[in-house]
Structure 1
Amino acid sequence: MGRLRFIVASTAMAVVLVSAAAVDSAFAQGTLNDVISAKTQGQKADGQQDRLFVEAKELIYNNDKNTIAASGNVELHYQGRTLQADRVTYDRTTGRVFAKGNARMTDASGTIMTGSEFELTDDFKSGFINSLYLEQKSVENGKPITGHFSSPRAERIDGETTVFNRGIYTACDSCKDDPSRPPLWQVKAARIIHNNSERTIYYENATLEFAGIPVAYMPYFWSPDPTVKRKTGFLAPRYIYGSSLGAGVQIPFFWNLAPNYDLTLRPTFLSEQGFLGEAEWRHRLETGSYNIRAAGIFQQSPGEFIISPFGPGDRNFRGSLESNGQFNINPYWKWGWNATLVTDKWFLDNYHVRSRNLTDLFYREAISTVYLRGNGDRSFFDLRGYYFQGLSSYDWQKQQPVVHPVLDYNKRFNPAGIGGELSLDINLTSLTRQAAAYQQIPTQVTKLSGTIYDTCAVYERGKCLVRGIAGTTTRASANLSWRREFIDPIGQVWTPFAFLRGDVFYVRPDNTGYQNAYQNNFWRSDENDFSGRFMPGAGLEYRFPFVADFGSNAKQVFEPIAQIVVRPNESKVGRLPNEDAQSLLFDDTTIFEWNKFSGYDRVEGGTRANVGAQYSITADNGAYANILFGQSFQVAGRNSYDIADIANTGLGSGLDKSSSDYVGRVLFSPNKNYTFISRARFDQNSFGLRRFETGISANFNPVLPLQTSVMFATYAPQPEIGLGYRRTGIMGSVSYNLNKNWYVTGSAVVDLDRRARAEAIYEANYAISPETASYYKKDRIALDSLSVGFGYSDECTDLSLNYIVAPRDLSSTTGLTERNQTIMLRLELKSLGAIAAKQNVSDGS
């Protein structure tokens, strides 16, 4: 048999264009370019032929066997696929391509297949592969994930489906030190079928192994392949247990109806309460998106819960409805909503329904709002309404306001002629409340054991605060301000400023029902009333920064600061509602504010001087330190902070004397990994500590794989505003990486005054049971909340186990707070699925 061979010098590379991997037998009668033609040729959409690009060191033609072979670093490129091998042979009789020796094929999608031998059709779409190893890459939550498939023999069908006989799948990388070591987890199956068009992986007679040990057998299941972000099918189950709920399991189902909308169903079966249904609809449109979530249950055993008004024990149906949405009108304007409605304030917590709208602070509440927002280059507009639903046992819904609406607008200008910057701020707030909200003022009472605080239930000035009035309150405010900075030749910074503020109030009280009639004890509220307030002002701020080098690698700045604000007295204090200015914090962050009230319902009046100094040092290595100390003085006119309104805002704030308390701050950061901050307020007469916060955050990497933060705070009593007891606590968190995969975490909040507070209340003969007092007294450490856990994370697995202790309000009749203890376990096999279990170990549900 004769063999005709075309050989290129070993130092060169032969590059030949071949059509669809077929060569006519007429090669012996012509030149190479003349005789290479297609026996089967792919066609592009424009009618042009797809070409096969071959790159090799050597081409071998065997007319006797009717084959063409390429050897030496062979690469074949066809329709986005690349086949590489030491030797590739094309059999013209059968139309098959054989690749041996370091064989490797890369698909158009980037999928990489390697094997000892490939036997493929001439378009590379079908065939068999021995000792196949396949990698499929994707990105999940911003992190790359690689799916690994392997099989002693696999079949490729039409370029769409790959069948792995005795296949293995895992998302874990091989051990670099010992590649023969089994991965952390893998799925072994009699057959693994990967359908590219469906982007689905099917497993037949599959076994899940951890560290090579079988832990679960599944005759059949399927999962999306690693490239899939949305796929119809069942999601990982969730397990629930509680004494009021019984044992339960949630089996979510995701329905991918279209690329831009889907539906998730979360049926939950509970042994004590029956069937809980949850559904979530998500829809993305051209200009935005929205979703709707609903949950509900007809309880089998409502008596497992505390009865009304302190629990839902008298309800058969319980449920919730939530929705979020946001849509862009144009590049500057958008509108949207967040809405939450629940049948009762305990439903979401009792049934562990995950709410995206829930505000989980010390007092929990569900906030619903509809808004219109606009942003310009130097302007801001926000219009929205609010509905608040309290979720604490102590909340009375009729005392919650409905806001309709609140509007905020800000615009900044650079005025011609006078220079500087003009700023216009507009606010409109209108709200309605059914029942007036009162809070008693603690008053000192002497007992044999010392001074404690008592309360009284009389709705009178000096004995009660009004946190919210019954009826409708509307206020419109506008503030126009100007400021300009001048720096003189010696470096002094002079900043004159001026402002003009106007407010209009309309109050329509509701003095009927509940305790609303007592509003008349605080101001005349028996008729509709229009009121106005006008506040002009001007001032000057002075700074003189002294800058000096501190060695060759640092710069220090000492800066005295003085500010004077001149304006008339605040008018109609105590005769107007106060809804948004009840919180007042005087510290280093507010000392140089022109108006230290937090909202629009109060405005600072009289002439006030704010003085202080700060020192800072900045080093070239990133170290930074700052110290600030200052005081505020009422120079002339009435002190707004010493005049009680219906909420006593300002009293006990440290600003209610002609000379305020001292405020200070110390900040030190040696580098970006460590920060220490401490701020305090000291009594202006005795220099006693009235308010103190100190904390440190540290990231010890790379010296030690530890991150931690600790915050300590103590606040003196402020009985004038309803805070009758000292509040002291510690909050801390820590995260430690045992190695590159294992970590431990923990956090805690400790109330250092709770035990003493409860003992004082019991001693004062309050309406508190001996059992409740015993509950507080037995705590050597007043642990308010605690979370400890550990976890494991690598390229293919996330595992976490957490123990959480958190207070939960059970009854407002005793004030008892039971510790809700929960164990949470979550295991995620990346690209395969996740499973979670939650177990309450306390007496509650």
Structure 2
Amino acid sequence: MSSIQNKQLWFFSLLLMSIGLADAQEVCFTPLPGPNLENSLLDGQIRVKSEDSEINQDTFAQFKGKVEIDSSQVKIKADEALLNRQTQTLKATGNVSFQDSNITVSSENVQLNRISNELLIEDSLYQLNNVQGHGKAQKIALGQKNGINLIESSFTTCPVDDEVWRIQASNIEIAPNQSRGIIKHARFYIRDVPVLYLPYFSFPINDERQSGILYPSIASNSSTGISLEQPIYWNMAPNYDLTFSPRLMSDRGVQLKTEFRYLSEKHAGQANIEYLVDDLELSDDTERYFYRFVHSGQIGKNWRVTADINGLSDDNYIVDLGSDYYNRADTHLYKTLGISYFSQSLDVTAQFRDFEVLGDHADSYRALPEIRLNYLTPVGLGAEFQINSELAYFENRDIDYPTATRFHIAPTLRYPYKNQWSEFLAEATAMHTRYIQENIENTNLDKNISRTLGQVKVYGSLAFERPASWFGSAATQTFEPKVQYLYTSFENQNNIGLYDTTRLFKDSAGLFRGQEFTGLDRISDNNQITVGITSRFVDNNNNQERFKLSLGQIFYLRDNQVDDASKEDDKSALAAELDWQIGSKWYVHTQAQVSTITDKVERSSLSLEYQLAQNKIMQINHRYVRDLSSEEINQVGITASWPLTKNWQWVGRWYHDIKLSRTVESYAGLQYESCCWTVSFVAQRNLSNRFDDNGAQSTNEFESGFNVYFTTRNLLREGLFGYRRPYLLN
């Protein structure tokens, strides 16, 4: 009976998958375990037990009273059973129970033909074993020739006593050696109310990907109006597929979204194209588009090739139409193409790096190409020799901007040492950079420049431990001081353009970075000592970190001579970071940078969270920046998630700009989740961040939206300010 059982498994398990309710079964449904079919019977053998039997050796065997029929794969119980030896048929009647590893069926009449291996079950109730799902069937016919045929059957994943929804069909057919089954005259019911009728559709009956219609997405907001997106999946081959997603927007028209994916043994990638032929919201006949290509592959043993190429028609595309890959606050889209070589001591990377800049921002320089070579080898006595080098050509979309070819090489000799309680590092580096700059008329830049700098760094840290008490529990307290001396020589760099360089922020971890800029166009001169301390309390009962405090500060022994790195004080702001698990429910994470000259906070952030359970969360966030591009940032946010009843959950979020006295995002979601279905209602209002004709981003326009989802959503992570845990200890 193995072929019959396989067809049962195909149908029931994949019908369950096709309605997308697998997540719910893990929450509140306990499926029936499969029966214990272990016995000593061989394939083809049958063992029968009963209270009474009548056997005619050549014609029939009749059994009555608590009949049990066992084979190596099936268990049948009934009031009576008749085995016809001439026709090789078995008929069980009266309170029949049929069980195999996949399904349990209750019926009044089961007939089995052992010659044709056909099974007929009438007026049955079935329950899947080990997975969620049950239903009724007027007739279930299974056979090697015709496959499986269910007549006037139903199916649901809801509990037996609470069928919120069910599917009923006049006929379900699964033919042998076919990848799809056929359902005729299907009706979808909510409670006992029919809500959908399909005269014909097919569904997958194995784990192969199948072409077909996927779940639609329905939304409504002030930018697109009512939006209906219907994905259509095309399984072109086992290793590549295509999804078409027509999207109808009441305010903007019809958009086509496509996604092509491919996979081979050594390569994988995805290509997306989105196209709107005519945006009804705009006055002119404006076509709008977005494209994306991502690839990662291996060439040979040590070579890899990567690509991440994105582009769009206009600055407001993401703001107006949304994106699955970018946020409305993003200002750059990447365009990179690279090839890399890796070995134990050598790695080489060559890439073309460009950006799609959104809004009124200075165009970024693109590196066409950028080649990096890094080499590391031991030289004896625990020392290492390392070479970092780079060759890059920079150009700007604005033809009036300078261009540059830059070559950089930095050989380093270092001595690292580390054990369980200490760490030491001494290194000396020579940094040589050469520039050839073009298109420099009317600038203070020089065409040919060579810059050679020396750098010495000495770093050391210790870790002390002592027994302690943490609110009455045995704990271990650590004291971890660390200190670093850094010296970098000076050369005037005002005649070098800024091609990939910006100023870095100093947090508690960045104090020991030793560089104040990204890129290589500015290397600050240094003569400084950095001091930091960290203390932790570790609970001995579960080896869990309960408290961590880190403090750090840089003391400048000499004023910087590089103009872009100049400072007014002889020491940096005091950087502090605190993580604290208060009891088992409260969590605190905060970090701050405080000027020890003015005693003013320069930057700070705070997260305070109360988590009673996975879905019982309340979190307060605050962030402050005194000067960010001449703007002060002062915002507070509250995120909460709380169950209202057994099935209803509420999620809300509110972010307020204290400086501007206005709400920047408000978000509320209400979700109903039962054992067999889920619906979510989400309302949201946030800044639109739309660009005007001059490229300036609006800070006064808001967008509102309302969505209804019929699948499980993580409402905590929806919206602009998605929920994040406030810290991560250990």
> Shorter-chain TM-score: which interval?
0.7 to 0.9
Q: Distance in 1 between matches of 2:302 and 2:587?
A: 38
Q: Does 1:365 align with 2:245?
A: no
Distance 1:200 1:390 in 2: 47
Match for residue 790 of structure 1?
A: 670
3-state SS of paired residue (1:345)? coil
**Pair 1:508–1:53, CA change in 2 (3 A):** farther
Contact 2:152 2:170 in 1 (8 A): yes
> What is the deviation of 1:616?
2.2
CA contact (8 A) 1:246 1:272 kept: yes
Q: Does the residue aligned with 2:613 lie in a helix, a strand or coil?
A: coil
1:667 maps to 579
Q: 1:565 aligns with which of 482, 486, 495?
A: 486
Amino acid at match of 1:747: R
Q: Would the aligned equivalents of 1:700 and 1:707 in 2 still touch at CA under 8 Å?
A: yes
Q: Give the equivalent residue in structure 2 for 1:603.
A: 523
Q: CA separation in 2, counterparts of 1:168 and 1:482?
A: 73
Contact 1:639 1:656 in 2 (8 A): no
Equivalence for 2:424 = 495
2: CA distance, partners of 1:606 / 1:364: 33
Post-superposition offset of 1:424: 4.5
Verify the 8 A CA contact 1:481 1:498 in the aligned structure 2. yes
2:506 is the alignment partner of 1:577: no
CA contact (8 A) 1:623 1:670 kept: no
One-letter amino acid of the structure 2 residue matched with residue 207 of structure 1: R
CA displacement at 1:289 relative to structure 2: 2.4
Matches within 5 A, 1:420-439: 423-435=386-398
For 1:432-831, list aligned pairs within 5 A: 432-435=395-398, 470-485=402-417, 493=422, 495-510=424-439, 520=443, 523-524=444-445, 528-541=447-460, 543=462, 545=464, 547-550=466-469, 553-568=474-489, 570-621=490-541, 622-636=544-558, 638-639=559-560, 643-645=562-564, 650=565, 656-670=568-582, 674-701=586-613, 705-717=615-627, 723-739=629-645, 741-753=647-659, 755=660, 781-808=661-688, 809-811=690-692, 815-817=697-699, 818-828=701-711
Cα deviation digits, residues 540-588 of structure 1 (max 9, x gap): 43546363444871112234333222342x3123222334441321221
Q: Find 2:98's aligned residue among 91, 104, 107.
A: 104
Change (3 A) 1:193 1:669: same
User: Which residue identity does 2:657 align to in structure 1?
Assistant: D
Say if 1:395 and 1:14 are closer, same or farther in 2 by CA, change over 3 A. Answer: closer
Separation in structure 2 between the aligned mates of residue 667 and residue 748 of structure 1, nearest angstrom: 24
Relative to 1, partners in 2 of residues 1:739 and 1:644: Cα closer, same or farther, differing over 3 Å?
farther
Aligned-pair Cα RMSD in Å: 3.7
Corresponding residue for residue 360 of structure 2: 394
Distance 2:300 2:123 in 1: 56
TM-score (norm 2): 0.80
Structure 2 residue aligned with 1:152: 138
Paired with 1:732 and 1:380, the residues of 2 have a C-alpha distance of: 46
What is the aligned-residue identity percentage?
A: 15
In 1, Cα distance between equivalents of 2:560 and 2:640:
45
Q: Which amino acid aligns with 1:74?
A: I
2:302 corresponds to 1:336: no
Give 1:122 deviation, angstroms.
0.9
SS at match of 1:577: coil
Q: How far did 1:52 drift?
A: 0.6
Distance 1:364 1:740 in 2: 43
Distance 1:14 1:631 in 2: 74
CA contact (8 A) 1:333 1:375 kept: yes
Give the whole-Å Cα distance in 1 for the aligned partners of 2:426 and 2:348: 24
- 8 Å contact from structure 2 (residues 309, 335) kept in 1: yes
Change (3 A) 1:738 1:633: same
Task: Label 1:64 to 1:555 Cα distance change in 2 as closer, same or farther (>3 A).
Answer: closer
Matched to 2:56, the amino acid is N
CA distance in structure 2 between the aligned counterparts of 1:228 and 1:710, rounded to whole angstroms = 45
Letter in 2 for 1:129: I
CA distance in 2: counterparts of 1:243 and 1:295, whole angstroms: 21
In structure 1, stretches of 5+ residues that fail to align are 1-12, 18-50, 138-143, 306-312, 438-468, 512-516, 756-780, 831-837, 839-845
Task: Provide the rounded CA distance (Å) in 1 between the counterparts of 2:40 and 2:605.
Answer: 74
Deviations 1:689-744 (CA, angstroms, capped at 9, x unpaired): 22222213443227xx41243321111126xxxx2232111244332233554322
Whether contact under 8 Å (2:67, 2:81) holds in the other structure is no
Deviation (angstroms), 1:279: 2.7
Give per-residue Cα distances to partners, 1:505-548, cap 9 Å, x unaligned: 3243335xxxxx66x1xx325xx324233223142435463634
**Displacement of 1:500 after TM fit?**
0.8
Q: How far has the Cα of 1:65 moved from its partner?
A: 8.0
Structure 1 residue 611, shift from structure 2 partner: 2.0
The superposition leaves residues 178-204 of structure 1 with CA deviations (integer Å, 9 ceiling, x where unpaired) of: x4x342211123334455744545443
Question: Structure 1 residues 597 and 336, CA, compared in 2 at 3 Å: closer, same or farther?
Answer: closer
User: Do the aligned partners of residues 318 and 394 (structure 1) sit closer, same or farther apart at CA in structure 2, a change above 3 Å counting?
Assistant: same
User: Would the alpha carbon gap of residues 599 and 745 (structure 1) be closer, same or farther in structure 2, given more than 3 Å must change?
Assistant: farther
CA 1:616–1:794: 2 relative to 1, 3 Å:
same
For residues 145 and 345 of structure 1, the distance between their equivalents in structure 2, rounded to whole angstroms, comes to 49
Contact 1:590 1:596 in 2 (8 A): no
Aligned residue in 2 for 1:204: 184
Distance 2:493 2:620 in 1: 40
* Equivalent residue runs for 1:195-344 within 5 Å: 195=175, 197-210=177-190, 212-225=191-204, 228=207, 230-239=209-218, 249-269=228-248, 274-299=253-278, 301=280, 304-305=281-282, 313-330=283-300, 332-344=302-314
Shift in CA distance, 171/274, structure 1 to aligned 2, threshold 3 Å: same
Secondary structure of the residue that 1:591 maps to in structure 2? Answer: helix
Aligned partner of residue 482 in structure 1, secondary structure: strand
Alignment partners' CA distance in 1, 2:53 and 2:568: 99
How much does 1:97 deviate? 2.3
- What is the correspondence of 1:125-144 to structure 2 with a 5 Å cutoff? 125-134=117-126
> TM-score, structure 1 length as denominator?
0.70
Corresponding residue SS for 1:283: strand
Equivalents in 2 of 1:788, 1:118: separation in Å?
54
Matched letter for residue 725 of structure 1: E
**Deviations for 1:11-55, whole angstroms, at most 9, x for unmatched residues?**
xx99665xxxxxxxxxxxxxxxxxxxxxxxxxxxxxxxxx41324
Question: How big is the shift at 1:677?
Answer: 1.9
1:349 Cα deviation from its structure 2 partner: 4.3
Distance 1:135 1:202, change over 3 A: farther
Q: Which amino acid aligns with 1:601?
A: D
Q: Secondary structure at the match of 1:151?
A: strand
Distance 2:125 2:324 in 1: 43
Map of 2:86 onto structure 1: 93
Residue 627 of structure 1: how far off its partner (Å): 2.1
- The residue type paired with residue 394 of structure 2 is L
- Counterpart-to-counterpart distance in 1, 2:500 and 2:355: 15
Q: Letter of the 1:557 partner, please give it.
A: T
Which one-letter code corresponds to 2:271 in the other structure?
I
In 2, are the aligned partners of 1:507 and 1:529 still within 8 Å (CA)? yes
Q: Report the Cα distance in structure 1 between the residues aligned to 2:522 and 2:384, rounded to whole angstroms.
A: 25
Of 183, 186, 208, 2:166 maps to 186
Per-residue Cα deviation, 1:52-80 (whole angstroms, up to 9, x for no partner):
13244469673278124677542223xxx
Counterpart contact for 1:677–1:696, Cα < 8 Å: yes
Q: Which moved more, 1:591-600 or 1:617-626?
A: 591-600
SS across alignment from 1:146: coil
Contact kept, 8 Å, 2:395 with 2:403, in 1: the verdict is: yes
1:824 counterpart letter in structure 2:
N
| Cα pair 2:517 2:523 within 8 Å, conserved | yes
1:128-182 deviations in Å (ceiling 9; x for gaps): 2123344568xxxxxx96343421332234376433332111233x1xxxx4x34
Distance 1:133 1:231, change over 3 A: farther
SS in 2 for 1:602: coil
- Is the CA contact 1:113–1:132 (under 8 Å) kept in the aligned structure 2? yes
